[in-house]
Structures are given as structure tokens and as C-alpha cells.
Amino acid sequence: PTNPAAFNNLANSYGQTGPVAKAFELYIKAIELNPRQAIYYHNLGSVIVLNRKEAAAHYRITEQMVLRHALELYRLAEKFDPANFQLATDIAQVYYGLQPPAHDAAIAAWLRAQSLARDDHEREATHLHLARVKAAAGMLNEARLHLNSVTNAALASVKSRLARELVDQALPPSAKDDDRRLNLPPTRRP
């Protein structure tokens, strides 16, 4: 009853098999017993993000508030484990769900994750996310620069898809409308 790791491990199990509300409670118990352990905050934030609807019902808040709560938990974890790349990427991922979009904060979060990348694959993956966020923010030239930084073959399909989306975004609306009226496939430029 006084071992926070036991509560964390039990919460992990409930987070995977349910009921997920029990996982929320057990992570809180682990945090109460050891409030300086980053993984407990990280795990609770992750189970909340993955189970937004259940978390919203459990905490009696909106899904947007759930995401902001998870972000707070991740920030607490970051205080105790500031060099954790996975945690940094989990923080940055939350921004995809926030409304209205917080592009500047998302960019800052992905740049932080990039600074913690442990190898070229992780670093290039953050470039893909930066390209996606900057494209959404209308920063198309900067998004292209990030895409051009990606050379890893394992990331080629995602890079290709994002490049096509950038081309579509850069086309003037009239070109897209003309294609639709004529039943043509969307215009693609190299």
C-alpha cells in the first residue's frame, strides 16, 4: 500500500484492459506517494490522451480541457525528466488536438523535441512534424525546408504525402475549383 511503483504498474494494466477510470485513480495514488517521479505524471497524461472521452466523463470536463490537463501533467513530468525525448514528443503531439490551434506553441514543442533527439531518425521525424505544423500555420516555405531535411528512406512515404499536401495548399483556389468542376484528379506540381 505504500509502494508507488506498484500503483503505477497496476494503473498501466487498467489503462490497457480497463476500466480506464481505475487507471486514473491509481496513477494519482502513485503520484501522491512519490510526487517527484516523472513517469507517473507521464503515464497518467498518456492514458488521459489515449482515452479522452473516458477522461472527460471521469473528470467532468470537455475533451479540450482533458488535453490541456494532459499537457499540464506532461509539463510536471518534464520538470523531473527534462531530457526525455519521448516525453517531449508526447507534449508536442497534444497540440494536434487543441482548438483553436496553437501553432507557435506546437512549433516550440517540436523544436524542443528535436533538440532532444538521440539519432538522425528521431531528428528527421521531428522535421516532418515541424513541416506539418508550419504548413497548417501557413508557413509553406519553412515547411518545405523541413521536408527537404528528411533523407531517411523509412520516412519517405510520410514525406511524400506531406509534400503533396504542401503543393495542394500552395495552389490558388481557382485551380482546385477548376479541377473539381472538370472531374480531374487534383493538380500536382513537382
pLDDT in tens, 8-67: 999 999 999 999 999 999 999 999 999 999 999 999 999 999 999 999 999 999 999 999
ω before 82 within 30° of 0 (cis)?
A: no
pLDDT band at 167 (very low <50, low <70, confident <90, very high): confident
What is the rounded average pLDDT of the residues 123-127? 97
Exposure of 52 by Cβ count < 10 A (0-12 exposed, 13-18 middle, 19+ buried)? middle
pTM of the model: 0.86
| Gyration radius from the chain CA atoms | 20
187 SS3 class: coil
pLDDT above 70: percentage of residues in the chain: 89
CB 20 within 8 A of CB 49: no
pLDDT of amino acid 3:
97
Give the model's confidence band at 147: pLDDT under 50 very low, under 70 low, under 90 confident, else very high. Answer: very high
User: Which residues does 29 contact at the CB level (< 8 Å), separation at least 6?
Assistant: 4, 7, 11
C-alpha cell at 19: 476500466
Q: For position 171, what pLDDT does the model report?
A: 62
Rounded CA gap, 140 and 170, in Å?
8
Of 142, 107, 49, 175, the closest CA to residue 189 belongs to: 175
Looking at residue 39, its pLDDT comes to 98
pLDDT at 61: 97
